Structure 1
Amino acid sequence: MQREYPSAPLLGVSALIWRPQTAQVLLIQRAREPNKGLWALPGGLVEVGETLAAAVVREVFEETGLSVQVGPFVASFEPILTDEQGRVRYHFVVLDYLAYYQGGEPVAADDAAAIGWFSLDEMAGLPMLADTRQVIAQHSALTAI
């Protein structure tokens, strides 16, 4: 799968992982482009033959070392980034799911440069995409489930 200058949009998933004991969301700091250095929900591309739920579980484990139970679909977003000539450099369709923390200790792996549990207040000062911030804010009520 060619991520840069793709011939078609790439399908991805991400997980809004909530830890109710501490009222925190798990975020990773992106180690690679696009959006290198920004904080984001863990996730990645869906592999051929893989269900969306299986992709969420796999991607979360690969990036964080955590096991999760996949909950309901919460949002979608479509980041499209162009280069200086206006050509589409990246185009993803990302489906966000609520995920319930099941166990493990967070470790930044795969394409995560850093990892951490953050309260909504702590997230306010982190650099992240507006779409990510909006998904977390809009669906923080679901995290009480």
Structure 2
Amino acid sequence: MAAEKHGIEPAQAARRPIVATIATVFKAGHVLLVRRANPPEAGTWGFPGGKVELGESLEQAALRELFEETGIDATARKVFTAVDAFDRDETGALRHHHVLVAVLCSWVAGEPVAGDDALEVRWVPLHALETGDLDLSRDVARLARLGADIAT
């Protein structure tokens, strides 16, 4: 079977990746990040985001999740990349596969307040992503640099 050839168990081959968005918002040399309340990667810092609902565009999903998690109003400017997020159990077996679509957003109004799935939310200086002081989710620093380059 083709799935087995690629290291995927037959039972996993019937499942499909889940599409989700992440909202990347920049303001005055800072990026908006949330500290995740729920698995996977609970306690780590990443972009606000979540699953795309049926009939919802990527941009609508990003803006909805951004508001639910942070209280920030924004406009969606552009989809700029996508990354795979694999959630594995302690044995290495795949539990979930998310495809995270990054949407560049422009801040319109609001002060960040943690809501929904966020423990904390704050504007983080872009240079602070490189110091190792924050426990970042995978690819956050790279995606922030990419988004910031596009935003300017």
TM-score with structure 1 setting the length: 0.88
Q: Partners in 1 of 2:111 and 2:137 — Cα distance?
A: 25
> In the alignment, what sits opposite 2:103?
97
Aligned residue among 101, 111, 120 for 2:126: 120
Using the aligned pairs only, state the percent identity: 33
Letter in 2 for 1:16: T
Q: Partners in 2 of 1:86 and 1:28 — Cα distance?
A: 26
CA deviation profile, 1:12-48 (whole Å, cap 9, x unmatched):
00111011xx211100000010000110011100001
**Which runs of 5 or more residues in structure 2 are unaligned?**
1-11
> In the alignment, what sits opposite 2:7?
none
> In the alignment, what sits opposite 1:69?
75
Letter in 2 for 1:140: A
SS at match of 1:29: strand
CA deviation profile, 1:101-140 (whole Å, cap 9, x unmatched):
0001111000000000011122332111341111112232
> In the alignment, what sits opposite 1:138?
146
**Which runs of 5 or more residues in structure 1 are unaligned?**
none
SS at match of 2:139: helix
CA deviation profile, 1:79-119 (whole Å, cap 9, x unmatched):
11222344311210010011000001111000000000011
SS at match of 1:97: strand
Q: Partners in 2 of 1:136 and 1:114 — Cα distance?
A: 18
SS at match of 2:62: helix
Letter in 2 for 1:95: V
Q: Indicate if the aligned counterparts of 1:15 and 1:41 stay in contact, CA closer than 8 A.
A: yes
TM-score with structure 2 setting the length: 0.84
Q: Partners in 2 of 1:123 and 1:132 — Cα distance?
A: 8
